[in-house]
Amino acid sequence: MVYKMRIEVKTSKAPMPIGPYSQAIKIGDLIFVSGQIPIDPETGQLINEPFSKAVETVLNNIKSIIEAAGASMKDVVKVTVFIKDLSKAQEFNEIYKKFFEEPYPARSFVEVKSLPRNAVIEIEAIAVVSRDD
């Protein structure tokens, strides 16, 4: 087995980590994007309201990180959503469909009590870089 080097993915188009983690790690063809909360990368401000803006901010940040790793949102294969209010699931789905197309990535959707910086949502993603063989 050949060990593939872990490469840190970093972009100023998404918020810098607020703890000891990377925005993403790329290993081989896989990209593991750390959980992103709705922080505006330009101002560093948390955006919780309106909820639609919070979701868009998180997904745009993930998009920027995925693109910095040389992939696109079409390459995302798994998404995990942590949300403080499950009753917002339908509103979330309407926004989510603007960032992904069928077949949609596999997804887990989990209601949680709290998130870093008291965010209303956090999303992490896994992507596989497409290759033309």
Give the CATH number for residue 11.
3.30.1330.40
1-10, 15-24, 107-116: which has the minimum mean pLDDT?
Answer: 1-10
User: pLDDT tens across 104-128, in order?
Assistant: 999 999 999 999 999 999 999 999 9
Would 41 be classed as within a structural domain?
yes
pLDDT confidence band for 4 (50 / 70 / 90): confident
pLDDT at position 81 over 90 = yes
Question: Tokens at residue 31, please?
Answer: 């990209």
Q: State the DSSP code for 75.
A: G
Give per-residue burial for 70-93: e unless 16+ CB within 10 Å, then b.
ebebebbeebbbbbbeeebeeebe
Would 62 be classed as within a structural domain?
yes
Per the structure, how many domains does the chain have? 1
Q: List, in order, residues 6 or more apart from 64 with CB less than 8 Å away.
A: 11, 13, 14, 41
d(CA 80, CA 78): 7
Helix (H, G, I), strand (E, B) or coil at 16: coil
Would 83 be classed as within a structural domain?
yes
Domain range for residue 64? 6-128
Would 133 be classed as within a structural domain?
no
Would 19 be classed as within a structural domain?
yes
